[in-house]
């Protein structure tokens, strides 16, 4: 039986690909737009190359990302995930904004004192 990938499944897969690229240090393969930006409690608001450089720096500390829950609504994906590091596990919620098949902006929420 051939089942077509749903919009929800496709966007969840793209977020999974994004996480894999971060953990594996394959920043050139990130499924992001050319005007990609992000915001986190540690980095603040960053855009373009600065946002990708930040991803690379945190990626070196992460050994795995475990997705716990994903909610897709239109061009937005909310994902609850755990970043596994040698120092422990950090629970994170990320809000991903899509433009077409690529991620345009990511805002993450976590306890920076954790």
Residue 2 reports pLDDT greater than 60: no
The reported pLDDT for the residue numbered 1 is 45
Strands 44-47 and 76-85: unpaired
Read off the DSSP letter of residue 63.
Answer: S
User: Of the CATH numbers 2.70.150.10, 3.40.50.620, 3.10.450.50, 3.40.50.1860, which one belongs to the domain with range 7-108?
Assistant: 3.10.450.50
Residue 100 reports pLDDT greater than 70: yes
State the sign of the Cα–Cα–Cα–Cα dihedral 113, 85, 32, 68. Answer: negative
pLDDT tens for each residue of 36-85: 999 999 899 999 999 999 999 999 999 999 999 999 999 999 999 999 99
Q: What is the 3-state secondary structure (H, E, C) of 39-60?
A: EECCCEEEEHHHHHHHHHHHHC
pLDDT tens for each residue of 42-52: 899 999 999 99
Residue 113 reports pLDDT greater than 80: no
Read off the DSSP letter of residue 112.
Answer: T
**Considering the chain, what is the average pLDDT of its residues?**
94
The reported pLDDT for the residue numbered 84 is 96
Read off the DSSP letter of residue 94.
Answer: E
CA 104/CA 112 separation, integer angstroms: 24
């Amino acid at each position: 039986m051939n089942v077509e990938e749903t919009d929800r499944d496709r966007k969840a897969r793209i977020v999974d690909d994004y996480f894999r690229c971060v953990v594996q240090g394959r920043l050139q393969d990130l499924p992001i737009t050319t005007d990609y930006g992000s915001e986190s409690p540690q980095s603040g608001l960053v855009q373009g190359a600065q946002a990708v450089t930040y991803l690379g720096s945190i990626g070196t500390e992460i050994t795995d990302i475990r997705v716990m829950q994903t909610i897709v609504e239109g061009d937005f994906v909310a994902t609850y995930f755990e970043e596994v590091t040698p120092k422990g596990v950090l629970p994170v919620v990320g809000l991903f904004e899509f433009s077409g098949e690529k991620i345009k902006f990511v805002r993450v929420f976590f306890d920076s004192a954790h």
